[in-house]
Amino acid sequence: MPRRDDIHTVLVLGSGPIVIGQACEFDYSGTQACRVLRQEGYRVVLVNSNPATIMTDPDFADRTYVEPLDPDVVEAVIEREHPQALLATLGGQTALNLATRLSERGTLEQHGVELIGANARAIRTAEDRQAFKAAMTEIGLSVPASGIAHDLEEALGIAEAIGEPLILRPSFILGGKGTGIAENRAQFARMARVALAASPISEVLIERSIKGWKEYELEVMRDRDDNAVVVCSIENLDPMGVHTGDSITVAPAQTLSDVEYQRMRDAAFACIRRIGVETGGSNIQFAVDPGTGDMVIIEMNPRVSRSSALASKATGFPIAKIAARLAVGYTLPEIANDITRRTPACFEPTIDYVVTKIPRWAFEKFPGTPAVLGTAMQSVGEAMAIGRTFPESLQKALRSLEHGRAGLNADPGEGLLDSLDDRELVHRASVPTPDRPYQLESALRRGVTVEHLARETGVDPWFLDQIARIVAGRERIVAAGGLAGLDRAAWREAKRLGFSDAQVGFLLGEPEARVREARLAAGVRPVFKTVDTCGAEFDAETPYHYSTWEEEDEVRPSGAPRVIILGAGPNRIGQGIEFDYCCVHASFALREAGFETVMVNCNPETVSTDYDTSDRLYFEPLTEEDVLAVIDAERRAAAEGGGRLAGVVVSLGGQTPLKLASRLGPELVLGTSPEAIDLAEDRRRWSDLCARLAIPQPAGGTAATLAEAREVVERIGYPVLVRPSYVLGGRAMEIVYDDEGLVRALAELAGFGGVAAGAGTGTWGQSPEGGAAGSLGREGGLSAERPVLVDRFLEDAIEVDVDAIRDGAGEVLIGGVMEHVEEAGVHSGDSACVIPPPTLTSSAVEVIEGYTRAIAEALDVKGLVNVQYAVKQGQVFVIEANPRASRTVPFVAKATGVPLAKVAARVMVGATLAELRAEGLVPPEVDGRATTGGYVSVKEAVLPFNRFPDVDTLLGPEMRSTGEVMGLDRRFGSAFAKSQLAAGWRLPTEGTVFFSLADRDKRAGLGAAARFVELGFRLVATAGTARFLRDNGVPVEAEVAKVGADGDGAEPGPGPASGPGADAVELIATGQVDLVVNTPRGRGPRADGARIRTACSFHGVPCLTTVAAARAAAAGIADQARHPLSVYSLQELHRPEQLELPWEAARLDVEA
């Protein structure tokens, strides 16, 4: 069946902000979908609130709405755009839930919009656990014994009938929020409450726990002619009990015989047919009893998922792209396999390598949360590696994670396990934690048997035996006694087991550079093989490579000038999708300019690792050894083909590639020189530069001891901002208000080395001690070489971020001046920010622009530069400058229509802004600064506190947000309200606001409180705040008792109904408060404030922790009340003159 001609416009829903459980894999799938649909000639309308995505680039859709993923908003888009079809299966659980709601409330039917990809009934059957189990039982598949509860009583009845251990899974949630395993009745009752609250429909599935069984996933595709294929099988190294998103997973399945595999395949097809997914991809999970082979089906996702992205990258089979084609009428046999181009997509990929994915966690950001893995996902990113064998791919994946480890131990980090005795080590390995792989290797190295370890941990003996091979390989490296002792065969064996040069160096007591020299002298180099979907049966057209240690290299020569772009590696807090956006845009821009682009990255979720984003893709760890190997391969390709390697882009992928810049050779680094990058980071040289340019900085100094720090403070006064001299992605800053705080902060830094003993292995810097070491400590030590920076902290200052580009001719383009909503002291990544600045005076903006130009000039920037300022009482101070892409580049590009990353990439290879203006890449009217065309854009951070229920939600200098959203409107208030809605906080239109202000915030908070009263809200407040407000003429209806007056230790949770004198937590828990304004009393955890904020997070009540945010919210509420909801596409913002539909232009006139 060919493409459907009855559809003209397709509405695509994205997945919104990056959150735990839903990351940039949906940008990858959504981007593929948009491209395919446009190639097929459809008009594509996209809604996605996440400005950092590539899919929301205005080139990928006809109309791009960066608007909240909310039913009312999407209905407004439908009314404007009249789509005939809605594709929601490529936008994760968010899009699927939204589509379900639109269907249920009749919006789709009313507007004649057909749900394509999966119908509402199929979604319902797959998502509703009861319906799913009934359906599976009906077709003869086994499921674990279970029951459904809607309240606690029902839950306890089911527990009685089945017996523990029991697993709880709330319905309609993403990433496993609220799920867990209960071992006894008391634990069960407690967890059942949490699970019921987590489900939007208060429904929880309770089933027999099959913890310890082997876990598998199959990625299946089906079309309307009932053609069905398995794209990939995946086996989890961690047995059942760990969320698949938090598991180490391996493709293909390793320990299933053909008999068992085919049985699973048959079951998967029976499942997808019964559920009724007529077109598209599904992920189906199975568990197998390792003792008997009994197989049960666990769940099915009737959509493209995180695992689909992994399966696509693991096999080369573009699931999302094909799912989009299937959704519009094609069948699998009609679609060509992109990789071979000769064979159809209707086949099952076969691979001749092993893929390992390992998650990356951020427990260090959430002190108080134990680093234990369970059925709720907690990881924030992942790395994938490809090797010919499992040991090779496992070690590559571990070094891809970039958490300071060189592979599976054989590095300085392994020493942290030395203090444990065997028994304790095995015991620790039996609990799933991020450290488990290292513990397994260490135990095997000590002689613990595979059998014993398998019994204690549930990890399959095959995997353990493969790790034992790594152990044996290590012993042979050590036995060589030195580099000279390694002959070609020994090198080959070590490398085939995945040992990095750094590991070999550690084992032989040699620096990595000497290991490299010796290896190259022995003629041992990696080769690059190709991911081709077919195990080399057919010739592959697509150069998607991975390194390994074999006999044949498949990299083809090329005559075109080439640029290598180093990606950002696994997502982490502080370095996420924004940098992938920049790398991808660079690739697009350079390809358009005639370069062949070569991408190096190891993050399977991303668009950058899509095989057709760049001319070549190397799926490799971003370490010195691996990157140098790629550079060598590309140099050879250029030499043999008569081409030229123009250079390497290191400044668009965040800290990851930047750290490598100095190792590559300055002549290879494109754009700003590594020397200038260093200058900006070196405290003394940077201060000298600012002084020379007469740009004020906050007073400060460096200190290597407490005494020195006190000296600095003596000079500048409290409060001070304390941070290590080498701050990675803004981590590990603290604001210190007094001497006590200074002593603690310095002690944390100095005491880092002692954390390991008896307090977790420390591989991840956190481990079960749960925050005993503060964040400064984790950044590693205090010494004359690594002093701390102690700067005057400018309280109540407005923080400002600027992104700019300077070209080789010296012209500077100000991309955007962003004013932060939260005052200085909140990490810029966690603060909301606004373009254009709503409160800064035009003279302040002029000063800021002038400073930015001067700094860019002085640093001889070629490309992007980000400069941060603090504005206090009209005076502008520079905080820091980074001559590289910042997190805000995609937001600024969306707000202004200037594609900053593309422009920067071109500038880095020599183009001038004038040339790019002539070419049209820079809009011709943009001269000196980009503008926003009368619109206001607000970027809001999205924080993962719902995953870490015991963590204080107070914002501070350490970044903890996982993602961002953008609110776009013609007024600041409306834009802010949209940003809040997009972030999951619907601002109330009426009701009660609870105020609790720190003393220093009371004066500033007065105006905000008065504004809420004007808007018709009732106010309640804590005693001190109430008194202050009343004294100043603001009516407060009730005073609220101090939290926990009845005693400490009460957990914030669905509490009992409140009576008179209820405390704030009870009011929040019982829904009597619609908005909370709670500002912290200085630094440090204050029990009541923390518990109020935690309760808000738990119960979904918007909680504002700064007065500035309260003011913004009031403005938003006011604008929402005055103006009906309007939606705007980026196209009308960026290119109003190019609008095609007359009614759109007319509407703009009315608005204007």
Residue 142 burial class via C-beta count within 10 angstroms: exposed 0-12, middle 13-18, buried 19 and up: middle
Nearer to other proteins, 221 or 1036 (CB): 221
Residues facing residue 297 across a β-bridge: 286
DSSP 149-165: ESSHHHHHHHHHHH-SS
CB of 235 to other proteins, least distance (A): 10
Q: What angle do CA 1111, 1115, 1117 make, to 5 degrees?
A: 115
**Given the complex with other proteins, which of 389 and 725 has the nearer CB atom?**
389
Calpha distance 38→1059 (Å, rounded): 59
Shortest Cβ distance from residue 376 to other proteins (Å)? Answer: 29
Find the helix or strand (DSSP H, E) in which 439 lies: helix 436-445
Which of 41, 113, 56, 51 lies closest to 80 in space, CA to CA? 113
Residue 522 C-beta: closest distance to other proteins, Å = 16
Q: Are 42 and 1106 in contact (CB under 8 A)?
A: no
CB of 290 to other proteins, least distance (A): 7
Q: Least CB distance from residue 517 to other proteins, whole Å?
A: 24
Which one-letter DSSP state was computed for residue 787?
A: P
* Spacing of C-alpha 1011 from chain mean position: 36
Closest CA to 832 of 983, 971, 949: 983
Between CA 662 and CA 679 the distance in angstroms is: 13
Nearer to other proteins, 202 or 389 (CB): 389
Instruction: Pick between residue 261 and residue 737 the one whose CB is nearest to other proteins.
Output: 261
In the bound state with other proteins, the residue whose beta carbon lies nearer, of 353 and 579, is 353
* Shortest Cβ 227–other proteins spacing (Å): 5
Q: Cβ of residue 527: shortest distance to other proteins, in angstroms?
A: 9
Q: Which is nearer to other proteins, 59 or 348 (CB)?
A: 348
The nearer residue to other proteins, 133 or 388, going by C-beta atoms, is 388
Calpha distance 763→382 (Å, rounded): 16
Name the nearest CA neighbour of 87 among 326, 331, 345, 305.
Answer: 326
Q: How far is the CB of 529 from other proteins (least distance, A)?
A: 6
- C-alpha to C-alpha distance for 540 and 1003, rounded to whole angstroms: 68
Burial class (CB in 10 A: 0-12, 13-18, 19+), 347: middle
> Structure tokens of 356?
């390992």
**Distance of alpha carbon 436 from alpha carbon 459, whole angstroms:** 10
**How far apart are CB 230 and other proteins at their closest, in Å?**
8
Which one, 229 or 563, has the nearer CB to other proteins?
A: 229
Distance in Å, CB of 343 to other proteins, minimum: 4
Smaller CB distance to other proteins: residue 278 or 969? Answer: 278
Nearer of residues 331 and 433 to other proteins, judged by Cβ: 331
Residues lying near other proteins in the complex (CB under 8 A): 225-229, 252-259, 261-262, 265-266, 290-293, 332-333, 342-344, 346-354, 388-390, 450, 460-462, 465, 469, 472, 476, 489, 493, 529, 534-539, 550-552, 554
Closest contact distance (angstroms) between CB of 293 and other proteins is: 5
If the CB atoms of residues 231 and 1101 are measured against other proteins, the closer one turns out to be 231
Cβ distance to other proteins smaller for residue 237 or 1092: 237
For helices 185-198 and 152-162, the axis angle rounded to 10 degrees is 130
Nearer to other proteins, 34 or 467 (CB): 467
Nearer to other proteins, 374 or 526 (CB): 526
Spatial distance between the Cα atoms of 241 and 166, rounded to a whole number of angstroms: 11
Specify the residue, 466 or 888, whose C-beta has the smaller distance to other proteins. 466
**DSSP per residue, 619-664:** E---SHHHHHHHHHHHHHHHHHHT-EEEEEE-SSSTHHHHHHGGGS
In the complex, least distance from residue 446 CB atom to other proteins, rounded to whole angstroms: 19
- Does residue 1089 contact residue 1080 with C-beta atoms inside 8 Å? yes
Give whichever of 347 and 737 is closer to other proteins, judged by the CB atom.
347
Q: Residue 98, CB half-sphere, CA atoms under 13 Å: how many?
A: 28
Picking from 342, 321, 345, 322, the residue whose alpha carbon sits closest to that of residue 333 is: 345
Phi, psi of 912, rounded to the nearest 5 degrees: -100, 160
- The token pair that represents 587 in the structure block: 């690739």
In the complex, the smallest distance separating the C-beta of residue 272 from other proteins, rounded to whole angstroms, is: 12
Distance CA 425, CA 408 (A): 16
CB distance 440 to 453 below 8 Å: yes
State the amino acid at position 413 in one-letter form: G
CB of 477 to other proteins, least distance (A): 13
Q: What DSSP letter does each residue of 743-761 carry, written as one string?
A: HHHHHHHHTGGGSSTTS--
- b vs e for 228-262, b when ≥16 Cβ sit within 10 Å of the residue's Cβ? bbbbbbbbbbbbbbbbbbbbbbbbbbebbeeebbe
- Residue 548 Cβ, how far from other proteins at the closest point, in Å? 9
Closest to 250 (Cα-Cα) out of 296, 301, 311: 311
Would you report the helix, strand and coil content of the chain in percent, each value rounded to 5?
40, 20, 40
Q: Is 1111 helix (H, G, I), strand (E, B) or coil?
A: helix
Min dist CB 417 to other proteins, Å, is 24
Tokens coding 622 = 């971003």
Q: Where are the alpha helices (DSSP H) in 522-650?
A: 577-592, 624-641
CB of 981 to other proteins, least distance (A): 44
Q: CB of 328: closest distance to other proteins in angstroms?
A: 19
